[in-house]
Amino acid sequence: MARRPYVSRVRVQAAQETRAAILDAARTLFAEQGYARTSVAAVAGRAGVAVNTVYTSVGGKPALIRALGEDGAADEVTREVLDQVSRLTDGREILRVTAHGTGEVTRRQATTLKVLLDNRTSDPAVDDAAALAVHRYRASLGRIAARLADLAVLRDDIDRARAEEILWFYFGTSAWNAVRELGWSWETAADWLTTQSSSALLEPPPHRPPSPS
């Protein structure tokens, strides 16, 4: 029987920490200087590693920006939100969780989103990374739209595809950019977006005649 190759946990952890330090350095420098003006050598210097380590751990600048986009799209809060949504049956509660979850991800990934969106016209690699991040973000909202459709809580004139578009309108990057520009608190914005998206997407509750006095 062939032996499995031995993998040192210490080495794996060290490699993960090195990669994280490199991506943190790249994120900071891309935000401060712009993608085009940042060199791999500058990233290595900020991370405290050799230039060759950047290439072996992540890659050149296109790989760095892609990794930032992938890591941002894979934020653990997104997974938690999708897990909650899969278990919820109330449409408004699903939208409340979506509002607060997308707000939290936007806040946690603010620097990465700024780098991707502010630099996407400077280089095709940034544009590709931004497109990938947006695609994955919309795919997550698509899963939420599918859940609402499966629960039959959407308005009669809205199908799953239109629901995804409306979710993107209320919870996409442009919506949360507007929140920051307006200076709203994240909590206030999430509550307002929950109300507005509920009105746009969900069947209104049945009208109940007033009880006789």
What are the backbone angles phi and psi of residue 202, rounded to the nearest 5°?
-100, 150
Q: What is the pLDDT of residue 11?
A: 75
Q: What is the pLDDT of residue 9?
A: 76
Provide the 8-state DSSP code for 122: T
Q: What is the pLDDT of residue 184?
A: 93
Provide the 8-state DSSP code for 154: B
What are the backbone angles phi and psi of residue 204, rounded to the nearest 5°?
-65, 150
Which is nearest to 72 in space by CA: 10, 39, 26, 36?
26
The three-state secondary structure class of 26 is helix
Per-residue pLDDT in tens (0 to 9) along the chain, 213 residues: 556 665 577 777 888 899 999 999 999 999 999 999 999 999 999 999 999 999 999 999 999 999 998 888 888 999 999 999 999 999 999 999 999 999 999 999 989 988 998 888 889 999 999 999 999 999 999 999 999 999 999 999 999 999 999 999 999 989 998 988 899 999 999 999 999 999 999 988 765 656 665
CA pair distance 174, 144, nearest whole angstrom: 19
pTM value > 0.75: yes
Q: What is the pLDDT of residue 18?
A: 93
CA pair distance 197, 148, nearest whole angstrom: 12
CA angle 22, 124, 78 (to 5 degrees): 55
Give the HSE-up count for residue 7: Cα atoms under 13 Å, Cβ half-sphere.
6
